[in-house]
Amino acid sequence: MSQELTGRQRSILAFIHRCIREEGAPPTVREIMARFGFASPSTVSGHLQALQTKGYLRRKPHQSRGLQLVQEQVEKIFYRTEGIPVLGTVAAGKPLVAYQNIEEVLTLKKLLPERGFALRIQGESMSGAELHHGDYALVRPQPLANDGQIVVAIVNGDEGTVKRYRERRGKIILEPANPDYEPIEVAPEEVTIVGVVIGLYRRLS
Amino acid sequence: MSQELTGRQRSILAFIHRCIREEGAPPTVREIMARFGFASPSTVSGHLQALQTKGYLRRKPHQSRGLQLVQEQVEKIFYRTEGIPVLGTVAAGKPLVAYQNIEEVLTLKKLLPERGFALRIQGESMSGAELHHGDYALVRPQPLANDGQIVVAIVNGDEGTVKRYRERRGKIILEPANPDYEPIEVAPEEVTIVGVVIGLYRRLS
DNA sequence: TGACAACCCGTACATCTGTACGGTATACTC
DNA sequence: GAGTATACCGTACAGATGTACGGGTTGTCA
């Protein structure tokens, strides 16, 4: 479906991309026309048609500013602004980061959807689950958790801790992943679940 | 600047918000009109005027879909463009993500400076270093490595692999971190160092 | 009662907007 | 030389669009 873009098509795609990000809405045909110094709206129409058939764009017919970027395709081209490119393979020769070789793009949104936050891991109580001191836990805030998930929880108004969440016999067990530490067993009303750890980031080297 | 909203105004603001998120562009006056069953565009205009003077909305005069939410702009700046907030502590009560409590902000640039890329780990050859199948290795491209660093290397034109880099007796050893796998020992000229793994990202839950 | 705010209608209009049709020019390939 | 892809122009038009002006209803509060 998705094919190579010509220079003009790429530029126009970039302009649409910028408009959506900075202006909050896609441009009109004539705004694109003005931006590139075209003298006819048909010129733009042609390019949009090409971008659409190549799978980078969707158009809502007869709607003003009815342009939508097909996110997966566009991210691959503008990975620099959007996120971290994930390469399919690394081979000798050829430019490394070419968009033909990008499998996926890691964006902040994908790392942490909605309005999450990160917590730096203190101590080694979760080292059995490979959360070590200094690692970043990416936390999605939510008030409930499933059995077995790693959560950020507050017990009796203390500071939040990172533990594995278990439910047993009507009690809640906050379980460290390191046998040197003791599990905490409390009644549900003593615990506030702040969020669930959905990702891990570690700085190496 | 910003004042209380009436019920209608809040509903309309929510609708605009949804349109921007789901449709990719703000609605037109008449789309709002249709959504709420109004019979006159003036009705909408009045509400938009109110939302604007109350500071929730900006309007680009005489532009189709020329609506911008003020609030969302702010969110974008702090959460999406800037990065992931790293909290110092998590405590009960109080809003969680308040800027007084943000120790650091994880940006894409910090995760991966310059023009790096990510590689998905294949297999368990590096599991001793806690790089498991499906993890993302964040790679900073560079042609040289220090002893002990984890690198992405190409041996004899093959595909790149992730291994620990060692120098011994003029040879280069690419060492898996899992004893089930064999180290690769080659002459320096047979190896191309693509980059150094400077970070790890794992999706959990 | 009068003032006011919130809410809505109807109509009008200049301008904007997407799209269509037909045309030109250049470069490249078979 | 014919065919094709890319790139662009000019014109036209139906319908969409933001906005303006004037008027109406309901409920609240002093």
Q: What's the CATH code of the domain at B56?
A: 1.10.10.10
Residue B119 in contact with residue B137, Cβ under 8 Å? yes
Q: B112 lies in a domain?
A: no
Q: Is the CB of B144 inside 8 Å of chain A's CB atoms?
A: no
Domain co-membership, A146 together with A193: yes
What is the model's pLDDT at position B149? 92
Q: Pick from A29, A62, A82: which residue ends a domain?
A: A82
**Is A43's CB less than 7 Å from nucleic acid strand D?**
yes
Domain that holds residue B62: 7-75
Confidence of residue B46 (pLDDT cuts 50, 70, 90): very high
Domain co-membership, B67 together with B84: no
Residue B203 in contact with residue A198, Cβ under 8 Å? yes
Q: What is the dihedral of CA A124, A127, A132, A138, to 10 degrees?
A: -120
Q: A104 lies in a domain?
A: no
Please indicate whether residue B163 is annotated as part of the active site: yes
Domain co-membership, B140 together with B167: yes
Domain co-membership, A130 together with A65: no
What is the model's pLDDT at position B1? 42
Provide, rounded to the nearest whole percent, the portion of chain A with pLDDT above 70: 80
In tens, the pLDDT along B82-140 reads 456 666 555 555 555 544 456 666 676 667 766 778 888 888 888 888 888 888 888 88
Beta strands B117-120 and A83-87 are parallel
What is the model's pLDDT at position B9? 85
Q: For residue B149, give the nearest of A28, A199, A205 by CB distance.
A: A205
Q: Which amino acid is at A116?
A: G
In tens, the pLDDT along A101-112 reads 666 677 766 777
Residue B175 in contact with residue B166, Cβ under 8 Å? yes
Residues 6+ apart with CB under 8 A from A56: A2, A5, A9, A13, A69, A70, A73, A74, A77
Residue A115 in contact with residue B84, Cβ under 8 Å? no
Choice among B14-23, B48-57, B89-98 with the minimum mean pLDDT: B89-98
Residue A117: is its pLDDT beyond 60?
yes
Residue B81: is its pLDDT beyond 50?
no
Residue B203: is its pLDDT beyond 80?
yes
Burial class of B137 by CB neighbour count within 10 A (0 to 12, 13 to 18, 19+): buried
In tens, the pLDDT along B146-189 reads 898 998 888 877 777 889 999 988 889 998 888 888 888 888 88
* Closest residue, by C-alpha, to the C1' of C10: B40
Q: Is the CB of A112 inside 8 Å of chain B's CB atoms?
A: yes
Q: B1 lies in a domain?
A: no
Burial class of B192 by CB neighbour count within 10 A (0 to 12, 13 to 18, 19+): middle
CATH number assigned to the domain comprising residue A139: 2.10.109.10
Inter-chain contact A205–B196, Cβ cutoff 8 Å?
yes
Query: How many domains does chain A fold into?
Result: 2
Residue B74: is its pLDDT beyond 50?
no
Query: For nucleic chain C, which protein residues have CB less than 7 Å from any of its atoms?
Result: A 28-31, 40-42, 44-45, 48, 59, 61-66; B 6-9, 36-43, 46-47, 50, 62-64
In tens, the pLDDT along A59-79 reads 999 999 999 988 767 766 665
Tell me the C-alpha distance between A18 and A33, whole Å.
15
Task: Pinpoint the alpha helices (H) of chain A.
Answer: 7-23, 29-36, 41-53, 71-77, 79-82, 108-111
